[in-house]
Amino acid sequence: MNIITIDGPAGAGKSTVSKELARRLGYMYLDTGAMYRAVAWAARKKGVDTGDEKALSELCNDLRLDFDRDCILVNGEDISSLIRTTEMDRFSSEVSKVAVVREYLTGIQRELGRQGQLVAEGRDMGTVVFFRAAHKFFLTASAGERARRRKRQLRNQGKEVTYEEILARIEARDRADSTRSIAPLQVAPDCIVIDSSDLTVEDVLEKILSEIG
Ligand code: DC
C-alpha cells in the first residue's frame, strides 16, 4: 500500500503541500475535506439538517461523487467553487460529526486507496482511514499564523475580513474538529509532526521527501 497521509488543522497548508507532493511523486491527490464539503453542500441544497441522521443517510445513498483533476462533482455537477465559502467551512465541520456521513466517505476513501498510490489529506487519514499507511504526517501551524495566511488569501480574492474574526473562526473549527466523538483530529502516535509556522511550502516538501526517502 503506497499511501502518504497528511492530517492537520484548517489553514496549516495541507492542500498546497499535498497537491505538490502528489504531483512530484506521480501519486493521486485525495482532498477528503472537499468530500465533506460536497456532502455539506448537497445537504444544504436539499434542506437536510445536520441533526437528521436518517435524511443524511438517504442523501449519501443517492450521492455520486466524482473527481476530475482539481474538481469535485456531485451527481455530475461541478461544485468546486461553491464549497469554499465560510458557510461551508462551518457546515462541513458540522456534517463531519455525523456517523453515517463518516462511514460513507471512509468507504469511498478506502476504495480509492485500493486503486493506487495516494497522498491523502484530511483530519483522520493517519488515525482511522489509512491507519496502516507507511508514511504519516501531521502538518500544523500556530492559530495566529494560520489566520494571517487566511487573511492574505481572502484579500487576494478581494475580500476584507478582520484578523480577529478569522482567528475566532479558525479556533472554533479547531475546537469542533478536535473534540467530536468520532474520528476527531488527533496526532497519530506514529506520525511525524511538522510545524509550518516559520517554514515555506518548499521547506515542508523537503522535510516530507527526506522522511519518505
Ligand atoms: O480540510 P477542509 O477545511 O476542507 O475540511 C472541511 C471540514 O471537513 C473540516 O472542518 C472537518 C471535516 N473533515 C473531516 O472531518 N475529516 C477529514 N478527513 C477531512 C475533513
What is the architecture, at CATH level 2, of domain 3-212? 3-Layer(aba) Sandwich (3.40)
Q: What is the CA radius of gyration of the chain?
A: 17
Q: Atom 11 (ligand 1): residue with closest C-alpha? A: 93
Counting every residue, how long is the chain?
A: 213
**How far is Cα of residue 6 from the mean position of the Cα atoms in its chain?**
9
What residue segments make up the domains of the chain, in order of their start?
3-212
**C-alpha 130 – ligand 1 centre gap (Å):** 15
Task: Give the pLDDT band (50/70/90) at residue 205.
Answer: very high
Residue 192, beta-bridge partner list: 137
Residues 33-49 have pLDDT tens digits of: 999 999 999 999 999 99
What residues have CB less than 8 Å from 128, skipping those under 6 apart? Answer: 106, 183
- Residue 74: is it exposed, middle or buried by C-beta count within 10 angstroms (0-12/13-18/19+)? buried
> Would you say the CB of residue 173 lies under 6 angstroms from ligand 1?
yes
List the grid coordinates of 18: 499535498
Q: What is the mean pLDDT of the chain?
A: 95
> Is the Cβ–Cβ distance between 150 and 22 less than 8 Å?
no
| pTM of the entire predicted model | 0.95
> Would you say the CB of residue 36 lies under 6 angstroms from ligand 1?
yes
Residues 153-197 have pLDDT tens digits of: 889 989 999 999 999 999 999 999 999 999 999 999 999 999 999
List the grid coordinates of 140: 500544523
Give the pLDDT mean for 123-152: 96
